[in-house]
Structure formats: structure tokens, C-alpha cells
Amino acid sequence: MEEDSDLYSLSFRILFSAFFLCLISLNSYGQVGFPYCETFGGSTTQSATIYGADAVLVSGVLRLTSNETGQRGYVYVDIPFSSLFGIKASFEYFSYGGTGADGLTFFLFDAAVPNFAIGGFGGSLGYSKRGNEPGLAGAYLGIGFDEYGNFGNTSEGKSGGFPGVGDGLAPDAIVVRGPGNGFLGYDFIMGKRTMEDGVNGLPINQQFPISSGGTGTSRITTPNQAGYRKVFINLEPNPNDVGYLLTLEMEVTTEPNNPRLVTIFDKIPYQFSAPDNLKVGFSASTGGSTNFHEIKNLIVEVSNDEGLLDPEGVDFSDIASCEGQENTYFITDEEVVLPNPNSVIRCLQFYKSLDDIEEESSDICSQGKCREENRELVLDQGIFRAGDVGGDFTFFPFEGFTGQTVTVFYTITDSYGKTSEGNSMTLLIQESPEPVSVFPEGAAELKELVRLCPEETFTLEARGEEVYERFEWYKDGELLAGEEDAILTLDSEGEYYAVVYNRKNCPSVSNIVKIEYPEFPEPVLRLPVVGCVPGEPVDGRTGILNFDLNAFDYQLSDGVNTWVNEEIEELFQSGIYELRLKHKDLSCFSEPFPFEIVILERELLADFEFEVQGTGIQNDEDGGIFSDDILQFMDLSDDRAIEWFWDFGDGSFSSEKNPTHVFGKKGDFEITLTITDEYGCQKSVSKLLSITKSYRIMVPNAFTPNDSENQYFTPKYKGLVCVELLVFNLWGDLIFRSEELNGQGWDGKLEGKLLDAGWFVFRFNAVSVDGEKIVKTGKFKLVR
């Protein structure tokens, strides 16, 4: 046998893990590539089966739409399937229980599209463009099972349809639309109307409706029951052209106990070059009419399975392993034979002997999957476990078998579901060293985290209970070249650990020490910090919105004095300061941040006056203020004010400097003016305004009908909403009456004739704006 160190020079790559070590990061799917089987029968789907919008798992199916209007749902398999050998798919669908709309699609799209984006719903069934809605992103093929009849016409901006249909409906149809992206493409390629005969229809004895039943019907899952539907799609590579030969068959039951296979398309050329990889999905929708749309038992396979070859493994021998710890290995794609283009190792399976290797099951869904019972193999010497995906596996040798070998047999399965015949691997079990731990140099206690200031160095030391032959240091899983001593001095952040080896070249892996060089904390500042009362201190903490004494220390300086942490609470001087911060557990402060403090030297003054606009009237002594008077307010405040806020005390406000306001009612109102300066300092002042009068009436004692002025007798008034003027002669006879608001009054005439000069009596009835009833009476003279 070669020297122990040579055991690690094999092309078979070995990685050791202890406690935490995981140096290979892989995406993990329950199933990768062909075949892909999704029953939708449980409470969850595989992690790569993504559904959304109105789609839900229910009663053993994926329900894309419920029996309601305006529904839309989709599902797709987020795994790329190679297009090289074609794609074959089968699924059951259930369309029932409604008035028949709209339908569902099976679609394929380019796996290289970075973000899945479904197409327009309604008659576009989630595949094609629809008006101002783009179609399925990276669409390659859409097969619509159309109940209502809009997927096979040109309505809503779709490209092409059944000949002669135009925007009209083409119900009960299976329609193929071509590639598209955004608002381009999605052309009508071909279609069959399943309830009509002729060139675009089916023979009468093969016809069937897309939906299995109308309003009130239920899901049909048994092939012998009328209403059952199952679809078989085969995209076989076209040997004479680009694209595929499309075959679509359906198992259909329209009469009890009489299921039949109906061929819809038979090797029809689909002449569009396929992307390297495709993804599979479904979508469905309802509009003003309805149906349940559901699917189950999806199987996606390679179409040209005969064109595929089985992979070939190789025998591995003299692989080293170390007892008492989990050894991690990885068989690379290059170390085995993967004859199928672009294929990779999907999984490994382990067996005690070649005779134990099982024949591949005839069940397509069991092919290409690591059977759970073969993912782990327990032997007397230890345990083999296959990884979730790819060629990784682990071996945990039990103690007591040092110096012995163990041989197992394995198969590899590729991403097309093809499996090798079986090969052997032999592992030598060697003695493991005593555990090793990494400490800060000279320290007695372990530390999981060390935080450092910029440009600060730190030293780690690997220690254990024996003399080790070799040391390796790793940062973030990468070997640090040239670091081969028990001590490591570092100056950059990362996760560090040591791997030490004994004379048998078996490793022991240390604990991880995380080194951080945290960025300096950056304050969120709201400046300046303003003191609005002269002579009183301000709290500098209010200018630091993310102030946190539990996490950080603060230092504020004016060049002469320094305030630290709580001392920032009382600052008496205006000026530009410098603010520095540091993490609580570190000694280094950040670079300075300018920090401005402003304390007013004199207090703001607020004042104002008011009057009836243009009159100088301010109170009852000046003649009184009426409820409908326009009040002018005049700011007399400090000239530092830049904002004004008036509260008129009646629920009304203004931000003008000199506003006007009409109160419209009597009462006492407290008027408050609040001014604000450029720093946000405020000052308020309040004054009382009394409105004691709601109306005014002045009655003349004479009038002169024959003069050019004063021709009519009428009271002058304001603040009234309703009036009645009555004029009587001295004997009490009514000679004039008017209810006209703001009318001319009496012209001195009775029945068109001007009366003689003399005295007359008036009565004036009125209602004020605030509802007060008023009666005034008296005499006046007619002068000729």
C-alpha cells in the first residue's frame, strides 16, 4: 500500500466534516429533471412545484379556478427540462360544475427567463397577450383546452384564429398557439373543434365537449364514468426539421364504461426551434361564465427515451476515512461517464452487494429517484448516506475498526432518470486525532465572535490533547495558503477554523471563530438642535434619531470641551460641534460628523390686531361687530416668523399672514395666532373677539316721493333674512305691504295716485341671521 498521505491524492475528492463542517453548497430538490411526477394528491407539493393567484390544493387535486367569475390560477415546475430529446407529458384535468368558461392551458416556456410572468387571463387563458396585458414571458408552446371559445379567435388582440371565425366564438376547441414574449407572437398554429366535424373538427363518433358537465355536476375521476378526461402530449424531435412533431391524444369517456382514446393531433410539425431548456406549467381562468378547473397526476418524461444511454460508474479503491467522525465525499460528473448531453449526477444509491442492486421499476415515477431505502446503508463498520442531490455522500466509521477496509456498491442516476449498473468503492478506516479547539492566543476560554477596530490584528491559536503532524487554517471555507503553524495572525473578517492532522493524515476540525470588523455606526441626524428659550439648555440627544446608549457610545466636542453619552443631555451654547460614535464593545471612535446647535438669543414675540374690514371697528364702543361682518386680522408679530397659523375659535383656521374671516354668528371667540421661525420655534398669543350684534335696522322719519333722492320709504338694514314692511294711515287702514328682501319700499302712492303730505304709521317685522324675531313700529312723514 502507498504512504498514508497518498490516499488523499486520488481523483475521488474527499472532504471531512465534524460537528458543523459543510463545504459543499447544493440546491436540493426532491426530484431533479426527468421524469418529474406531481400527483397534487397531498397537502403539499414538491418544492419546485410553484402555484399562485387563485390556485389551491384541495381534495387531492390542484384547483386552478373555483366555480366563480373572474378567477385565474397558474402552476409551473421551476426545474429546467432539457429540450434535446423532446418532452412527453400526461395529466388528468377536470372541468365541471359551471356554465362553461373559460378553460385551461398546458404551456412550455424558456427556462432561461429570469422571472416567471404569467400571460393575460380571460380568453387568453394565462398564455397569450390580452389587450394591454402581455403574454407569458418566454413562451414556447401553449395548448388551450377552450370551453367558451375565445382562445381560438382574434378577440382581445390575439394573433390569428380558426379560419372565418374572426372575433366570434369557437367553443369546445383544443388550440395550439406558438412562441411569444410580451406583446409579440402567440400566433394561432392549429386547432381542433371537438364538437364539430370537418377539416378543423373531429369525426362524429369521436366528438366530446371540453367540459365534463354543466351547472351542479361534480368531479369525475374514474375512467369508466362519463366526463373523464386525460391528456397525453408528445413533442418528439423532428428528424427532418427544427422543432418537434406534436402528438396529442386524450382518453375520453362520454358514455359509461366506454373510455376511448381520441387522437387530436398526430405528429403535426411544430416548426419552432426550442430553447436549450424548458419549463412546464398550466393556467386557467373564468370570466362572466364559470367552471371548476383542476388537474392531477402530472408526469413529465423524455420523449425520445430510446436515444438515451445509461451512465457508467467507476470502481474506487483505497479511499481514506477517519473513525468516529463523518467523512464527506463527492463524486464529480467528470469522474464517471455521463453519456447523455448536458446531464449531471442526480443521486447515488448504496447496496451491500451487486446482487442487491434492484432492477429498474417499470413505474416511470420511481425511475430517476433515489429510493429512500437505498439512500442510507448501515454496515457493521459504519453508515453510508447519500446526499440530497448530486454525487455527494458521507461515511461515518464506527470506532474499533481502525486499519480495516469496507467495500460497498453504488449506482448513479442522471438528470434524465437513467441509472448505472453498479460499481464498488473500498474505504480504509484510519485512527482520528484528538479534538482540536481554536482560542484567542493565550486565552483559556473559547470565543465564538471577536469584533475588532479597523487595521487591528488578532491572533488565534489551535490547541488539543496531542501533538499534531500538520495544521491547516481556513477562512470562510477556503484554505489559507502558507498558514501551516498552530498560530494564525489575521487582519480581515471572516469565519476561521483549523483542521489538524495526525500521522495517519486523519483530520480533526476545530470550532469556528467569527472575526468581524464592524462598520462604524452612522448617526441619523436631524439638525440643527434648537433651543427656543434663551438661556435654557438643549438636549443634544434629540438631534440623533437613532440614539442608542445600549449599543453605542457618543462623544460631542466643541474643540475645547467634550461631552460623553448622558452629558449630551444639557448643552448651553450655540455653535458647530463634532460628533463621534463607537460600538460599545470597541475602543475606536468614528470620524467626526458636524453637529449644529442653535439657542435663540431673544424670545419670539407674537401679536395681532383685528377690525371690521375697512372701518376701524374693533368692539361695541366703536359701533359693534356684526355676525356677517368681514373681520380683517393683522399680524404684528416678530419679523423672524416665517409661518402663521390662525385658530379662529369656531373650528376654522388659516395659514395666511393677514387673513380675513366671517364668523356668521354672535358669540365670544378666542382667536389664537401661532407663529413659527426658521428653526421651528413657536410662539402663540390669544385674544378675545366678541360679536354682540347680528343685525342693524335704521328707519327714516320722512321721505320725498317727488324728489330725485329719498323717493321711497323703507328701513335700511343688514343681518336680516326675512322682512315684512306694513304702512298704515292714521286711521289704521293698511295702504302698503311688502315682503321683498332689499326691496325699494313704499313710493307714497295708493292705487297709483300719490297721497297728500302728512304722517303715516309703519310696522317692520323681521328675522335676523341668527333667528331672532324683530318688530319695529313708528311714524314717518310724507313730504311733497
Cβ–Cβ under 8 Å, residues 397 and 382: yes
Question: Distance between alpha carbon 361 and the CA centroid of its chain, in Å?
Answer: 43
How confident is the model at residue 362, as a pLDDT?
A: 63
Assess whether pLDDT exceeds 50 at residue 16: no
Q: What is the per-residue pLDDT across 140-154, written as a single tens digit (0 to 9) for each?
A: 999 999 999 999 999
pLDDT confidence of residue 81:
92
Distance CA 780, CA 784 (A): 13
**What is the DSSP-derived secondary structure letter of residue 34?**
S
Please state whether the peptide bond connecting residue 433 to the residue before it is cis, i.e. omega within 30 degrees of 0: no
Are 67 and 285 in contact by the 8 Å Cβ rule? The answer is no
**Cell numbers given for 8:** 488523499
Give the separation between CA 188 and CA 263, rounded to whole angstroms. Answer: 20
* pLDDT at position 27: 36
Residue 364: all three cell numbers together: 416511470
pLDDT tens for 184-223 read: 999 999 999 999 999 999 999 999 999 998 899 999 999 9
Beta strand pairing call for 753-754 and 716-718: unpaired
pLDDT score recorded for residue 697: 87
What's the pLDDT score for residue 165? 95
- Pairing between strand 423-430 and 436-440? unpaired
| pLDDT tier for residue 15 given thresholds of 50, 70 and 90 | very low
Which of 20, 7, 17 is CA-nearest to residue 327? 17
CA distances from 259 to 194, 195, 197, 249 (A): 16, 17, 20, 13
Percent of the residues in the chain that have a pLDDT greater than 90, as a whole number: 83
**pLDDT-derived band at 23, boundaries 50, 70, 90:** very low
Averaged over 569-580, what is the pLDDT? 96
Look at residue 719 in the predicted model and tell me its pLDDT: 84
- Is residue 460 within 8 A of residue 441, CB to CB? The reply is yes
* Residues 262, 291 contacting (CB under 8 angstroms): no
Q: Is 525 exposed, middle or buried (0-12, 13-18, 19+ CB in 10 A)?
A: middle
727: cell is 304702512
Q: Give the residue-averaged pLDDT of 522-544.
A: 96
Q: What is the pLDDT of residue 360?
A: 58
**Average of per-residue pLDDT values in the chain:** 92
Residue 361 clears pLDDT 80, i.e. is over it? no
- One-letter identity of residue 87: I
- Flag whether pLDDT at 539 surpasses 50: yes
Give the confidence band of 368 by pLDDT, cuts at 50, 70, 90: low
Q: What is the DSSP letter of 542?
A: G
Nearest to 403 by CA among 323, 505, 502: 323
Q: What single DSSP character describes residue 80?
A: -
For residue range 503-514, list pLDDT tens digits in order.
888 989 999 999
Res. 627 pLDDT band, cuts 50 70 90: confident
pLDDT (tens digit, 9 = 90+) per residue, 728-743?
Answer: 999 999 999 999 999 9
Can you tell me the distance from the alpha carbon of 73 to that of 55, in angstroms, rounded to the nearest whole number?
5
Q: What are phi and psi of 519, to 5 degrees?
A: -65, 150
Place of cell 362519463: 226
Q: In what order do the strands lie in the sheet with 316-322?
A: 316-322, 423-430, 405-414, 345-351
Give pLDDT, residue 10. Answer: 32
Partners of residue 548 on adjacent β-strands: none
Report the pLDDT value the prediction gives residue 538, as an integer from 0 to 100. 97
Helix (H, G, I), strand (E, B) or coil at 156: helix
pLDDT at 24 over 60: no
Q: SS3 sequence, 238-276?
A: CCCCCCEEEEEEEEECCCCCCCEEEEEEEEEEECCCCCC
The confidence score (pLDDT) of residue 369 equals 64
